Amino acid sequence: MKDEKFIKDTQTVLQFIQTFCDDKHASQHPKESLNISYREKNLLHVSFHLCSTCKQTFLYSLERLQSCPHEEKPRCRKCSNPCYERSRWKELAQIMRYSGMKLGLVKLKKIFMR
């Protein structure tokens, strides 16, 4: 996928996970930041404060985005070869449902669902 698309998708995913974590796992998580690269290019810098579970979920999603083989990324639901493990997908679906209601599902739907 294009660099701009990768950047946007990454930021959207992080926003949803952060919203979910803030509300559900509220406490003071340490602030961290991360340089994210895509195809050997350093594309963006993000900062977040997530609990360890949500951080894992984010890193997993990030890895999947980074390794998505499609040039025009299809929605994950429609993918002929979905790369998410079932348990991870369930976790993410839960986050999408929750944050989607708060933030508007539209953006994330574009990435994963249809």
Site residues (CB under 5 A) for Zn ion?
Answer: 21, 25, 51, 54
Q: What is the DSSP string of the chain?
A: --HHHHHHHHHHHHHHHHHHHHHHS-S-PPPEEEEEEETTEEEEEEEE---HHHHHHHHHHHHHHHH---SSPPPGGG-SS--S-HHHHHHHHHHHHHHHHHH-THHHHHHH--
- Nearer CB in complex with Zn ion: 25/75: 25
> Smallest gap, in angstroms, from Cβ of residue 28 to Zn ion?
12
> Smallest gap, in angstroms, from Cβ of residue 95 to Zn ion?
9
- Nearer CB in complex with Zn ion: 9/91: 91
- Nearer CB in complex with Zn ion: 37/94: 94
